[in-house]
Amino acid sequence: MDFRRILSALVEAQVDFVVIGGVGAVLQGVPTTTFDLDIVPSRSLENRRKLFEVLEALEACYRQHLPRKLLPTVEDLSSDGHMLLMTRAGPLDVLGRVAGGLEYTDLVPRSRWMELGEGLRIRVLDLAAIIEIKERTGREKDLAQLPLLRRALRER
Amino acid sequence: MSARELGSGCCEGGTLESTGLMETDAFPPAERFESGEPLESREPSEPPQSDEDGVDLTLLRWMLSLTPAGRLEVLQQHVDAVEAIRGAS
């Protein structure tokens, strides 16, 4: 897994996206771990085309069909669903909507720019919003993380 | 650091050098532990190490002290370490 490689590829291609999930939490100081990168991209046609080129360059394919390599299409990227991909740099989840209907345009006002050095600047969903999403999904694994996330929010 | 004789009753007839021990801060003279001072002492004003939900506050505060780039590096190193262990087994 190479988080920086995937993020750099997206930024260099000028893809509009918001980082959520475990990486978003870690970047805001939560001492947790994750093995994939979750992003919610803009689903404008132009952005889907840019994202598609990045995914092609990273040799992205759907994880659930491995070892068969089923490649995502530009049309796939307009879906509300969750595209669980494997790339040359590790697992990447491209999410159309999260927490019962939130898409990129809903998340942008609740995100912040973060500088990661080496010219890498990305949008990350604010920790309070990450917490709300986990509360909404109600999955056991998300609820289990809430004490840690809430404490991190208080400590900042 | 120079070799020093331990004194009678301990490694009788030997010196620190012959016993392989050197007197350093890590191996203080025995008399330092005879003061009756407890091995652990905690000032009442010291902050707790975990909260009521068991969250490790020391770890959390350490992560918060890093830059976002530093935090990403920590995550990357962790994932790399796990992948290395998986690859070795």
Report yes or no: A147 at the B interface, CB cutoff 8 Å.
yes
Q: What residue of B is the nearest CA neighbor of A31? A: B60
Residue with tokens 């669903």: A81
Residues A111/A123, Cβ–Cβ less than 8 Å: yes
User: Average pLDDT, whole number, for chain A?
Assistant: 94
Q: Give, to the nearest 10 degrees, the angle between helix A146-155 and helix B57-64.
A: 50
Q: What are the residues whose beta carbons fall under 8 Å from the beta carbon of A70, sequence distance 6 or more?
A: A61, A62
Helix H or strand E segment including A27: helix A21-27
Per-residue pLDDT at A96? 96
Cβ–Cβ gap B69/A2 under 8 Å? no
The pTM score is 0.79
- pLDDT 10s digits, A118-143: 999 999 999 999 999 999 888 888 88
Per-residue pLDDT in tens (0 to 9) along chain A, 156 residues: 999 999 999 999 999 999 999 999 999 999 999 999 999 999 999 999 999 999 999 999 999 888 889 999 999 999 999 999 999 999 999 999 998 799 999 999 999 999 999 999 999 999 999 999 999 888 888 889 999 999 999 998
HSE, CB side, 13 Å, CA atoms: give it for residue A61: 10
**Residue A88, by phi and psi: left (phi above 0), alpha (psi -120 to 50) or beta?**
alpha
Residue B19 pLDDT level (bands cut at 50, 70, 90): very low
Q: What residue of A is the nearest CA neighbor of B81? A: A1
Torsion of CA A26, B88, A59, A133, to 10 degrees: -30
List, in sequence order, every residue forming a beta bridge with A94; answer none if it has no partner: A39, A83
- pLDDT 10s digits, B74-88: 999 999 999 899 887
The b/e string for A37-68 (b: 16+ C-beta within 10 A; e otherwise) is: bbbbbbbeeebbebbbebbeebebbbbeeeee
Q: What residue of B is the nearest CA neighbor of A152? A: B60
Cβ–Cβ gap B76/A2 under 8 Å? yes
Number of separate helices (H) and strands (E) present in chain A: 7, 7
Per-residue pLDDT at A78? 94
Per the document, the length of chain B is 89
Q: Looking at the partner chain, which of A117, A147, A155 has a beta carbon nearest the beta carbon of B69?
A: A117
